[in-house]
Amino acid sequence: MNTAYLTAGDTFSLDCPTITRTTLALYAGASGDHNPVHIDIDACHAVGIEDVFAHGMLSMAYLGRLLTATFPQDRLCSFEVRFTAITPVNTTPTCTGTVAKVEDGLAHLDLSVALPDGTVTLSGTAVVTTH
């Protein structure tokens, strides 16, 4: 994307892969987040949780992929999210970014990750330099 010509309303998106149990095992290993709620259904049952669910930071990593597929990573000034719903296993989220405003050489983006049923799992913002 020619980021010098970004304008409010520009949108970009990323279709995430389906998050399988294998995805969660690989992410646990690579990230170092070994919290059993993401990888061990027995540990979930022991505290009344029905099944494993995805690491929130996995979805944030997908949003990061969306950002760095659109802008060189060293233009990223800030990136933040709130985790608004749990991501169940075996779902296929979509990441979306929208330019909210461009001001003083900075593009302000609104970000979200949503499940196929429309549930928003992450909501956030990022600021990138436009050049």
Partner 1 sequence: MPIDPTIVGTRTPEFQTTAERGRLRSFAQATGQPDPAYTDLDAARLAGYRDLLIPATFLFCLEMDNPDRHRFLADLGVDMRAILHGGQRFHYHAQAYAGDTLTFWTEVTDVYDKKGGALDVIVRDTHVSRDGTPIATLTSTIVVRDPKAAA
- Report in angstroms how near the CB of residue 91 gets to partner 1 at its nearest: 14
Residues 21-40, one symbol each (x = binds partner 1 by CB under 8 A, - = not), give: --x--xx-xxxxx-xxx---
In the list 10, 12, 41, 76, the residue contacting partner 1 (rule: CB under 8 A) is 76
Give 16: exposed, middle or buried? Use CB within 10 Å, 0-12, 13-18, 19+. Answer: buried
- Report in angstroms how near the CB of residue 11 gets to partner 1 at its nearest: 19
Whether 111 and 63 have beta carbons less than 8 Å apart is answered as yes
60 near partner 1 (CB under 8 A)? yes
The window from 5-13, 58-66, 100-108, 109-117 that contacts partner 1 (CB under 8 A) reads 58-66
Phi-psi region of 48 (alpha: psi -120 to 50; beta: other; left: phi over 0): left
Residue 105, CA distances (Å) to 3, 10, 44, 129, 131 in order: 10, 16, 47, 6, 7
64 near partner 1 (CB under 8 A)? yes
52 near partner 1 (CB under 8 A)? no
Phi-psi region of 90 (alpha: psi -120 to 50; beta: other; left: phi over 0): left
Pairing of β 76-83 and β 106-114: unpaired
Nearer to partner 1, 6 or 16 (CB): 16
Site residues, partner 1 (CB under 8 A):
16-17, 23, 26-27, 29-33, 35-37, 43-44, 46-50, 56-58, 60-62, 64-65, 67-69, 73-74, 76-83, 86
